[in-house]
Amino acid sequence: MEDPQAVITWAVGDSVLGPLAIAASLRGLCLLQFTADIDAMRTRLGPAFSGAAFVPARSGAPLEAWLDALCAGLDGRGPWPLLPLDLRGTAFQMRVWRFLQGIPPGTTRSYAEVAQAIGAPKATRAVGTACGANRVAMLVPCHRVLRGDGALGGYRWGLERKRALLAAEGAGLY
């Protein structure tokens, strides 16, 4: 999927959960993570966007409006935005990510339930790996997936953020 002509535009802002970085291709948002580290963003985009130019968003660009809408949605100042996504992964990852997008806010599933729902009941660990490979935190809501015993399990951005996201959803903030 390498496209040496691709341009990835990025922006960083402050959210109630810490620095929030987003990046987008012409297709849509391809990265949303809790860090202001630009090198980490490039690394996270990895081979799916190798050869792409990586440029900061211009002032007033749509990407900045997306970032503002995401930050407002996180702290309850506005509705949760529906943004176009540019998801790139294996066929299995795509099945997991699509399923996760259908989990309603304020509800959770176990890794085993996700594996069962996508027709791969023995792939519980692979579901966890797919969650970890998710490049668009919150928009593909891997934070809604818990261990079978109901414990939080892991979360790339820390268990405190996972707990805060689930609490905000439970309160109807987004």
List the chain domain ranges: 7-74, 91-170
Domain over 91-170 is classified CATH 1.10.10.10 = yes
List pLDDT tens digits, range 64-77.
999 999 999 888 88
Residue positions annotated with a catalytic role: 142
CA 131 and chain centroid, separation: 9
Average pLDDT over residues 155-168: 90
Amino acid 40: pLDDT: 84
How sure is the predictor about 24, in pLDDT bands with cuts at 50, 70 and 90?
very high
Q: Which CATH number describes the domain made up of 7-74?
A: 3.30.160.70
What phi and psi, each to the nearest 5 degrees, are found at residue 63? -60, -35
What phi and psi, each to the nearest 5 degrees, are found at residue 72? -65, -40
pTM (predicted TM-score): 0.89
Please tell me which residue, 58 or 145, carries the higher pLDDT value.
Answer: 145
From the list 131, 129, 135, 104, the residue with the least C-alpha distance to 29 is: 135
Q: In percent, how much of the chain has pLDDT > 90?
A: 66
